[in-house]
Structure 1
Amino acid sequence: MAPSPRTLARRARRQVLRPAWFLARAGRSGGPEREAVVQAAKAAVAAGAAWLLARWVLHAPQPFLAPYAAVFLVVQVTVYRSVRDAGQQLAVVATGVLLALGATLLTGSVVVGLVLVVLVGLLLGRLRVFGEHGPWVAVTALILVGQAGPAAGSPVDAVVRLAEIAVGAAVGVVVNMLVLPPVYQRDATAALAGVTGRLADLLRGVAASLREHQEARADLARDWRHRARALDGEARRARDSVAWARESLRLNPLRRRLRTPSPTVVLVPAADAVVEVAAHVNDLCEAVVDAAEEEDTGEQEETGLDPLFVGSFADLLDHLAEALEEIRDDPGALSPRADRHPPGSAALELMTAVHRDAAQRLPGASGQVRAGWSVEGALINAAQRAVVDLTGRRPTRTPTNGTGEDGA
């Protein structure tokens, strides 16, 4: 069914007003919008400065490669990346200039030269030395041959072009380093706090439902699994944000003026732990779904979870949620420099009790096999891995029947 004229008008109005809303958000508070505006302004300044400097120093009539190189490096998201990519960018554009020179000297024809530089440039661009910027070898050579024509075969002009690139790269790196260099620690902290809080909410929801129903409801369990999978991916993206925050401080002159601790010390351990816990929560929800589906089939008696296990395991989930909330409120809680008990210490103590209770219900302890035992074991294992990742310690296990085997 085609959208109504009113719907089309509303969509068109949103598209027209979107730039104004974007600028309003950028002016109102810090965030991605303001960072985008700042980087765009810096790129514009770098382009103009590179053009003027190339004209004054090199006396080049049309020094378009200088602002091109400057803008390319300014739009990099971190100072370190702009410095690192400066060498690759110089290599990419220099290779394009030399390729245009060689193709023009060999062919003497603009059309044949265009075909040759695109073919060879795209193949050369696959070399590892150029990284992800390899296709720009062909693009640079294509622009030079198409714009200059036979003049692209002048060795003197080629040397001037190479000098333009060097000027533009220097301007781009200096502007990105000295003019409001980007720092992404705030974004990383917000991303990590968000996913950690949502993981805690999920665990509390699972615990409350298990207490209320004394079993795993299939409809809720599938929703938990869906949320856990989404949070697993979100936790990995938060860890990537922390990596960006760490990189944004490398070679950044603002680092000494930042009053907050380095994300390497504060955020990285928390992000690593949250990613691992999110994976274990995903496994836990998978086990809950298995329990719910087993309960729905009703093929055997006593297919559900043991009520005694449900109560202690729900308490354990609450303790894990409490540990995650502590990390959300203070990511430095997992820092090696933190002089206190790590989050999850209460869960570690309860984990030992859960192991002891589970050991008493193992098939070898009573001689009776319950269908729900395997699900309980999967739940315990997933929760234990989460506790270990939070505390760095394993719970004490109770041997069964004096055999020395672990209880879970």
Structure 2
Amino acid sequence: MALIAARGYFRSMPGAVERLRQRTLRAREFAGYERDGALLLFKSAVSGVAAWTVAQYVIVSPQPTYAPFVALLVVQSTVYRSLLHSVQYVGAVLLGVLAAGAASPLLGDNVGAFAVMLVAAVLVGHWRRLGIMGVQAPVAGIFAYSALMGDPETPMLWSIVSMVLLGAGVGLAVNLVLLPPMRCSTADRGVQELSTAVAALLQDMAEGLRAGIPDSGTVGDWRSRSRGLDSTVGKARSAIGHGAESISYNPRRMFRKHRPVAGFDGYRMMVETLARAAEQLRSIAFGLRKLLDDETGHTADGTFFRPYGEILALVADGVRYLGATAPDSEQHIRESAAACDERCERLAADAREKNAWPALGGLLTDASRLVEELSEAHARGAVRAD
């Protein structure tokens, strides 16, 4: 069995080497996940070595390992996250060390003192403001208690605290100096992908309806795609969040010629507008499904579907221009909105004449809301990457 496993391992080696080579090439040639990962690995190594060197050879601390340990934890993917983790980790460690420093002199070196210290540190670690670093409070308390056993002196306690501060400072400085990433392009791509997905679904629905009465399978596919937009919306929101976080406290933002929308508010408005549009599309797909199942004869000649498809085609054009910074984008959206309103009113009047409003009114209302959402969002400053 061991021989078979060894053969399988060596057979997989060429593939692993090739994947590593491809990732290295992507990291060198393109900005993205591979490059960010390689840069984070490099910065972690630099911060750890620098912190240990200063602690061991410059300060000559009796507890030098604390410094590189903290430095490695502090180096994160963004400056904001590094700063946040620095503050949280230093706070957690200080509280844990203080718990050990109080328990050892007051209660002595025994099981009871250790238990009291550990319980106190665990309780402190659940403080919400310490975030994910709260777990480090009892860890720091355990190490500090061990270091203080038999020698409960203040200099030893200060040595641990100073190494924690040194490690946090070195890690934060390295992350500030060595090319902290700015993920503005990630936010751009997230918004663009969502806009493209919504416009593509609208266009496909428009073409399908203009071709005549769609079959149930086609409408079912539209419903499935409209539900799938939730995932794309979530990815866009996450991309904007990461992009906004990456420029917070980032010194590189001062040297960029192209700066993102202040606070990413325009991106957020764009995504929330498209998220509501996705909800309207789900409602439209559901309404079309009900209309196909209608037994009152409103779908017999397809007189509703074709003009309704024209309305959705105009809405798709509006989505393509939504948030664009081109001078004529606002005019295109106004023209699309006016044409949609005119067609919706015409279809609504026709539906009332045929007593078909109960069956068709919901679809027309959804289309009107879509147009209204797009017009209002563009006027309020929704922005996309052109």
Normalising by the smaller structure, the TM-score range is: 0.7 to 0.9
After superposition, the Cα gap between the structure-2 partners of 1:295 and 1:140, relative to the gap in structure 1 and judged at 3 Å, is same
- Quote the Cα distance in structure 1 between the aligned partners of 2:354 and 2:307: 23
Structure 2 gap ranges (5+) = 381-386
After superposition, the Cα gap between the structure-2 partners of 1:340 and 1:350, relative to the gap in structure 1 and judged at 3 Å, is closer
> Percent sequence identity over matched residues?
23
- Quote the Cα distance in structure 1 between the aligned partners of 2:365 and 2:321: 26
Matched residue, 1:356: 345
- Quote the Cα distance in structure 2 between the aligned partners of 1:242 and 1:152: 52
Matched residue, 1:43: 44
Matched residue, 2:134: 134
Shift of 1:370: 4.8
Matched residue, 1:397: none
8 Å contact from structure 1 (residues 207, 318) kept in 2: yes
8 Å contact from structure 1 (residues 199, 278) kept in 2: no
Matched residue, 2:200: 201
Matched residue, 2:60: 59
- Quote the Cα distance in structure 2 between the aligned partners of 1:227 and 1:118: 52
Shift of 1:33: 1.0
TM-score, structure 1 length as denominator?
0.79
| Alignment-mate amino acid for residue 131 of structure 2 | G
Matched residue, 1:258: 256
Name the SS for the 1:63 alignment partner.
coil
Structure 1 gap ranges (5+) = 394-408
Matched residue, 2:280: 283
Asked if 1:346 is matched to 2:335, the reply is yes
| Alignment-mate amino acid for residue 73 of structure 1 | V
For 1:6-405, list aligned pairs within 5 A.
13=12, 16-17=16-17, 19-75=20-76, 77-109=77-109, 112=112, 115-145=115-145, 148=147, 150-151=149-150, 153-215=152-214, 217-264=215-262, 268-296=265-293, 298=294, 300-304=295-299, 307-326=302-321, 333=325, 341=330, 344-361=333-350, 363=352, 366=353, 368-392=355-379
Shift of 1:81: 2.9
Matched residue, 2:384: none
After superposition, the Cα gap between the structure-2 partners of 1:277 and 1:58, relative to the gap in structure 1 and judged at 3 Å, is same
Q: RMSD over aligned Cα, in angstroms? A: 3.3
Alpha-carbon deviations, 1:79-121, whole Å to 9, x = none?
Answer: 1332243322221111111122233335544655554444332
Name the SS for the 2:299 alignment partner.
coil
8 Å contact from structure 1 (residues 103, 113) kept in 2: yes
- Quote the Cα distance in structure 1 between the aligned partners of 2:178 and 2:85: 18
- Quote the Cα distance in structure 2 between the aligned partners of 1:94 and 1:84: 15
8 Å contact from structure 2 (residues 298, 356) kept in 1: no
Shift of 1:175: 0.9
Shift of 1:49: 1.0
TM-score, structure 2 length as denominator?
0.84
8 Å contact from structure 1 (residues 228, 278) kept in 2: no
Alpha-carbon deviations, 1:264-304, whole Å to 9, x = none?
Answer: 27x541442233223323332333223224423x4x32243
| Alignment-mate amino acid for residue 90 of structure 1 | V
Q: Runs in 1 of length 4+ with deviation above 6 angstroms? A: none
Shift of 1:156: 1.8
8 Å contact from structure 1 (residues 284, 382) kept in 2: no
Alpha-carbon deviations, 1:231-286, whole Å to 9, x = none?
Answer: 23322331332232223223222112212122327x54144223322332333233
- Quote the Cα distance in structure 1 between the aligned partners of 2:45 and 2:112: 35
8 Å contact from structure 2 (residues 78, 180) kept in 1: yes
- Quote the Cα distance in structure 2 between the aligned partners of 1:342 and 1:177: 44
Alpha-carbon deviations, 1:302-345, whole Å to 9, x = none?
Answer: 24398454333322322332333345xxx6529xxx78626632
- Quote the Cα distance in structure 1 between the aligned partners of 2:300 and 2:375: 24
| Alignment-mate amino acid for residue 190 of structure 1 | R
